[in-house]
Amino acid sequence: MADEFPFEISPMFEGERVRKDGMYVELAGPKSKGFELVKSVEMDEIEDGKFTLIGPDLSEMEEGSRHPIAMIYRIAGELVEQDLEAIVERRNHDFQNYIQGVMHLNQRYDIWIRVSKDAMKKGLNSFEQIAKATMMLFKNELPFIEKIEATYITDLAGVEKELDGAIATYTARDERTRDLHDEDVDVFYGCTLCQSFAPTNVCVVTPDRISLCGAINWFDGRAAAKVDPEGPQFAIEKGEVIDAEGGEYSGVNALAKSLSNGEYDRIKLHSFFEYPHTSCGCFEVVGFYIPEVDGIGWVDRDFMGTAPNGLPFSTMAGQTGGGKQIVGFLGIGINYFRSPKFIEVDGGWDRVVWMPKLLKDKVLADIPKDIVDKVATEEDASDLESLKAFLKEKNHPILERWVEEEEDEAVEETATAAPTMQMPMMAAGAPMAMPAGSGGSGVKIILKNAKVSIDRVIIKKSE
């Protein structure tokens, strides 16, 4: 059946990147609009394999151009239920990356797709070919889908018309876990889909912690594990509680050890510094430690500027991803900001000092009232000096840590006559990453009894 397509289809193309100079057309992405959505319907509501295109086709697009795109799939089957929509939707990312010459990044309303010039030369000239190949993969890999049809929209007005409805669907899915918490369940869910490019990453999805990609919540994991227990989403028995506040469980540790091939054997689900959750590369937001203020900043994919540490999202994402525990950086899904256990063991929102304005606005209603005006955005602070000044002016709770540190330093200075700045507690033996721009300001960092392993050193000329 795959012979009908003018391109090869294989998981080996998953890592393929379509760079700007090899790109024929770009769809959605940060400079346009788009989304992907899966909806479950009754069997008699759809025609299996049907494809509808609203807007220009690939063959009508100019080389080097950019267009919006919505990819809407409707699925039906005896076992198909609403809870499976998010799981199926997340696979659009894998399956489109199986197509040679097609690159699909991100998820939901953040999708970013490129089609290569080489693929066009070989005969890929219609969205129908991409949609039919993707639908074939959906049915082959997820046999509970008995019928599927696809509608792609490449016309801006059409995408905008459907976008609000899609966002309402994502929001409704995220809302479902609001009243359910980690202590209310005996089972969490794991996902290893991203091991294709981050071989040691295991996402642990709990009621209080959505997946890093933001696309899979606890209910989605449960539905996926029920319908395909041998698939990439599976149940994790919590086991014994080791650290309730940090979110450490014996069952999660055991599974993490086996699924990461022993790369790590402890995970604290709600910790930023000690045995943090791994980060694959699909995270919606990166958290970064700012030693100069002993606080944590967060930056999302949509933010095009640089954070107060002088780094853009892309640089920090590069340091964070890969499936390891990187102390100092943490990838999360946006909905984790809404969790009552959000980095609880490290101080929760009291530790947050900076985030882009648009991201802050997205989660505004969930930021505690007493801290909301004390978290800086790019409008308040663009570098470390302006950030410090803002935090002082607003009397941010992080100032209490500065006092404690100054007292500690005074004690140490008296005892050893050597100035130190204490880093937050870290896992012995865990790799540590510091923002490249975090040096300077006369701060000296002394690591005591620490083993430091370095996977990669990036040396850049300062600008």
The binding site for ligand SF4 (CB under 6 A) comprises: 90, 191, 193-194, 201, 203, 211-213, 215-216, 280, 282
| Complex with ligand SF4: residue 316 or 387, whichever CB lies closer | 316
CB of 193 to ligand SF4, least distance (A): 4
CB of 104 to ligand SF4, least distance (A): 12
| Complex with ligand SF4: residue 113 or 280, whichever CB lies closer | 280
Q: Quick check: 205 and 71 in contact, CB under 8 A? A: no
CB of 336 to ligand SF4, least distance (A): 12
Among residues 246, 454, 459, the alpha carbon closest in space to that of 347 is found at: 246
CB of 5 to ligand SF4, least distance (A): 25
| Complex with ligand SF4: residue 115 or 191, whichever CB lies closer | 191
The tally of CA atoms less than 13 A away on the side-chain side of residue 301 is: 22
DSSP for 383-449 reads: SHHHHHHHHHHHT-THHHHHHHHHHHHHHHHHHHS---BPPPP--TT--B---GGG--TT--B---S
In the numeric block, the tokens 């980060």 are attached to 279
Identify the burial level of 351 via C-beta atoms within 10 angstroms of its C-beta, where 0-12 means exposed, 13-18 middle and 19 or more buried: buried
* CA–CA distance, 326 with 286 (Å, rounded to integer): 11
CB of 176 to ligand SF4, least distance (A): 16
| Complex with ligand SF4: residue 323 or 328, whichever CB lies closer | 323
| Complex with ligand SF4: residue 249 or 390, whichever CB lies closer | 249
CB of 191 to ligand SF4, least distance (A): 3
Among residues 292, 315, 285, 313, the alpha carbon closest in space to that of 387 is found at: 292
What amino acid occupies position 64?
G
Strands (E) across 179-240 are located at 187-191, 203-205, 233-237
CB of 25 to ligand SF4, least distance (A): 25
Using DSSP's 3-state secondary structure scheme, residue 318 falls into helix
| Complex with ligand SF4: residue 203 or 391, whichever CB lies closer | 203
Residues 6+ apart with CB under 8 A from 404: none
| Complex with ligand SF4: residue 197 or 402, whichever CB lies closer | 197
325: tokens are 């525990």
Q: In what order do the strands lie in the sheet with 102-105?
A: 65-67, 23-28, 112-116, 102-105
CB of 458 to ligand SF4, least distance (A): 24
Identify the burial level of 16 via C-beta atoms within 10 angstroms of its C-beta, where 0-12 means exposed, 13-18 middle and 19 or more buried: middle
| Complex with ligand SF4: residue 212 or 296, whichever CB lies closer | 212
CB of 358 to ligand SF4, least distance (A): 22
* CA–CA distance, 360 with 3 (Å, rounded to integer): 48
CB of 419 to ligand SF4, least distance (A): 41
Q: What angle do CA 64, 159, 156 make, to 5 degrees?
A: 50
DSSP for 80-146 reads: --GGGHHHHHHHHHHHHHTBTTEEEES-GGG-EEEEEHHHHHTT---HHHHHHHHHHHHHHH-TT--
171: tokens are 């929001």
CB of 175 to ligand SF4, least distance (A): 19
CB of 252 to ligand SF4, least distance (A): 14
Q: Is 138 left (phi over 0), alpha (psi -120 to 50) or beta?
A: alpha
| Complex with ligand SF4: residue 120 or 282, whichever CB lies closer | 282
| Complex with ligand SF4: residue 154 or 206, whichever CB lies closer | 206
Q: What helix, strand, coil percent values describe the chain, rounded to 5?
A: 35, 20, 45
DSSP for 45-64 reads: G--TT-EEEES--GGGSPTT
| Complex with ligand SF4: residue 316 or 434, whichever CB lies closer | 316
| Complex with ligand SF4: residue 69 or 204, whichever CB lies closer | 204
